[in-house]
Structure 1
Amino acid sequence: MTAKVLLLEDDIGVRFTFNMALQEAGYDVRAVSNCADAISALSETLPDVLVLDLKIGEEMSLPVADYAALLRPDIPVVYITGSRLFAGGELFTLSRNIRWVLRKPVNLADLLSMVDHVTGRVAAAAAS
């Protein structure tokens, strides 16, 4: 079964690049550009992992992670940020589902490795 990823990124170029990399790695990706669309996407289909840019314009994407956690308490969240907010790891205290924070500019291999890890693809591949 193909793992589903919800990607929230407001920068069109970054969103396109991440979307293509995740799709080429075999993920079923729903890419959105704002928090309202992310919440709507979560209402339609629950993904296996969320990849969220922390700052979407002037908004923070923390409510998206919180809403997803209400629907599925164990859903993993990978945050991506260019912001220096929460540089000391405080972000992990704001949502219990945050598994990792990647700092921009994000290396695509790091992004794919982290998504593989949180979706269990690494463990599944090692077991086969």
Structure 2
Amino acid sequence: MRVLIVESNASLRWLWKRHLQRRGFAVELAGSQEEAAGAISDREHDVIVLDAVLEDGSALAVADYASYRRPDARVIFVTSSSFFSDGSIFALAANACAVLPCGTSPDDLASVVEHYGARG
């Protein structure tokens, strides 16, 4: 399974990458909207783990671009904010399949990625 992690926090994205790789996933990293758009343009991903509040760019723009370029990719949003706790992200991003707090354990994140990636 191919996974793209789009996360502003470098330490967090590397932590998630290592856990996902241990499960046998091919993982690519991006830290900004621009990097994510390049990765989405050039390669297919089964799942995109996307920081809902990117420091450099817009997560919703990334999700929208993914829905256009890679319509089969599932997007799992992660956030440190309670802003999307009402489920509004599902109305804003048609390809959103889950919203998790960024404090979710890496093993639990890997299980969610595995679950939604297998459904694609």
Do both proteins adopt the same fold according to a TM-score greater than 0.5, normalized to the shorter chain?
yes
Overall identity of the aligned pairs, in %:
34
**CA RMSD, 1 decimal:** 1.3
TM-score by length of 1: 0.87
Q: Provide the rounded CA distance (Å) in 1 between the counterparts of 2:79 and 2:31.
A: 14
Q: Is the 8 A contact 2:50 2:76 kept in 1?
A: yes
Question: What TM-score comes out, normalization by structure 2 length?
Answer: 0.93
State which structure, 1 or 2, has the greater radius of gyration over its C-alpha atoms: 1
Structure 2 counterpart of 1:28, one-letter code: A
1:83 maps to 81
Counterpart among 63, 66, 72 of residue 65 in structure 1: 63
The answer for the alignment partner of 1:124 in structure 2 is none
Q: How does 1:46-65 map to 2 (within 5 A)?
A: 46-57=44-55, 59-65=57-63
How far did residue 113 of structure 1 move?
A: 0.9
> After the TM superposition, which segments of 4 or more aligned residues of structure 1 sit over 3 Å from their partners?
none
> After superposition, what is the alpha-carbon deviation per residue over 1:88-119, rounded to whole angstroms, capped at 9, x for unaligned?
11111001111100112111121011101011
The gaps in structure 2 that reach 5 residues or longer are: none
Which structure 2 residues correspond to residues 1-40 of structure 1 after superposition, within 5 A?
A: 3-40=1-38
Q: 1 or 2 for the larger relative contact order (CA 8 Å, sep ≥6)?
A: 2
List gaps (5 residues or longer) in structure 1.
122-128
Once the two structures are overlaid, the 10-residue window that deviates more, 64-73 or 3-12, is 64-73
- For residues 38-90 of structure 1, the C-alpha deviation after alignment (integer angstroms, 9 at most, x for no partner) is 00011110211100011111643111111111123232100110012122111
* Distance (Å, rounded) in 2 between the aligned partners of 1:95 and 1:107: 24
Which residue pairs with 1:125 in the alignment? none
Matching residue of 1:113: 111
- Count of residues in correspondence between the two structures: 119
User: In structure 1, how many angstroms separate the alpha carbons of the residues matched to 2:58 and 2:34?
Assistant: 12
